[in-house]
Amino acid sequence: MKALESYSRILITGGTGSFGRRFVKKLLHENLFSGQILIFSRDEYKQYRMRQYFPAERFPQLRFVLGDVRDRDKLMEVFAEGDLLIHAAALKQVDTAEANPMEFIKTNVLGSENVIRAALAQKVRKVIALSSDKAVNPVSLYGGSKLCADKLFLAATEAQTARRTIFSVVRYGNVLGSRGSVVPLFLEKVQLGEQLPLTHPQMTRFSVPVGVESALLLRAIAEGQGGEVFVPKVPSYRITDLARAIAPDLPTKIIGLRPGEKLHEELISAEDRARAQEFAHHFVVYPPAVCKEMISGPPTLTLPSAYVSSQNTHWLSPAQLKAQVQAYTEAEPIF
Q: What is the pLDDT of residues 243-272, one digit of tens each?
A: 999 999 999 999 999 889 999 999 999 999
pLDDT of 2: 79
> Which carries the bigger pLDDT value, residue 290 or residue 120?
120
Question: So what's the pLDDT on residue 158?
Answer: 83
DSSP letter (8 states) at residue 315: B
Mean pLDDT to the nearest integer, 148-155: 97
Q: What is the pLDDT of residue 244?
A: 94
Active site residue 46: no
Strands 229-232 and 204-206: unpaired
Domains of the chain from N-terminus onward:
9-330 (3.40.50.720)
Catalytic residue selected from 26, 46, 74, 134 = 134
pLDDT band (50, 70, 90) for residue 210: confident
Q: Quick one: pLDDT at residue 327?
A: 83
Contacts of 147 (CB under 8 A, 6+ apart): 135, 136, 138
Percent of the chain with pLDDT over 90: 80
Give the pLDDT score at 330.
Answer: 74
Task: Please count the CA atoms within 13 angstroms of the CA of 270 that sit on its side-chain side.
Answer: 3
Taking 90 as the threshold, does the pLDDT of residue 25 lie above it? yes
Please, what is the average pLDDT of the chain? 92
Query: What is the pLDDT, as a whole number, of residue 295?
Result: 52
Angle value at C-alpha 83, between 77 and 88, nearest 5 degrees: 75
Q: For 32-89, what is each residue's pLDDT tens digit?
A: 999 999 999 999 999 999 999 999 999 999 999 999 999 999 999 999 977 999 999 9
